[in-house]
A and B are shown apart, each in its own frame.
Chain A
Amino acid sequence: NAGVTQTPKFRVLKTGQSMTLLCAQDMNHEYMYWYRQDPGMGLRLIHYSVGEGTTAKGEVPDGYNVSRLKKQNFLLGLESAAPSQTSVYFCATQPRGPTYEQYFGPGTRLTVT
């Protein structure tokens, strides 16, 4: 089992460009999350989903959109990238419960110039 995978691992964007980050899981978990990690800030929740077709805003949703068309995939979109979105992005999953036990992907390092 691959667990939680994230695509791509690294990306450099110019200001104003758009991109989509893909999170895929093979654990059949219901809940999925997108976080960003910045130095000295810990992890902050961007958006999350408690099931296929549902999404909700987290702590720092501005500038991002998400979709969960299939249970195993959770996409994070940046429509017009800004330097403030330079960060490491982590996807996490959680079994239905909620159990609060989250399983993390390896991360995507995004730089916006």
Chain B
Amino acid sequence: AQSVTQPDIHITVSEGASLELRCNYSYGATPYLFWYVQSPGQGLQLLLKYFSGDTLVQGIKGFEAEFKRSQSSFNLRKPSVHWSDAAEYFCAVGARGSQGNLIFGKGTKLSVKP
């Protein structure tokens, strides 16, 4: 069965420091992979996606993610975190051949220290 694991429930980083949020997936074939961000009291917003091709994908707000098939991972990175990046981040996988359904991880909450 497909699944998505985000090992870190809560991460705190200092403003200006680099960030890496981890995501591991379980799926038999190459999946479609996504990162969403949820600011407090808001809905989810798509940050970036991977379908095929270049394994390093760029997203909005200066985020990037790298697909590593050998590690079944799709980690999210940002070189310099801003206070406005404090939010909850969700990794998701879409099953090819399904009707567009996504399976979400449980999320990682990011706090940013001044």
Contact = CB atoms under 8 A, between A and B. Distances in A.
Given A42-B90, A42-B105, A48 B99 contact: yes
Interface stretch (A68-76, A77-85, A93-101): A93-101
Contact of A90 (B34, B43, B46): B43
Given A48-B99, A58-B101, A42 B107 contact: yes
Interface residues of A, number: 27
A19 interface: no
A93 to B, nearest CB: 10
Contacts of A98: 94, 98-100
Q: Is the interface of A mostly helix, strand, loop or mixed?
A: strand
B82 interface: no
Contact of B99 (A31, A90, A103): A31
Given A42-B90, A100-B34, A90 B101 contact: no
B30 interface: no
Chain B interface residue count: which class? 20 to 34
Contacts of A44: 104
B43 A48 contact: no
Interface in B57-97: 90, 94
B99 A104 contact: no
A103 B46 CA distance: 8
A107 B94 CA distance: 22
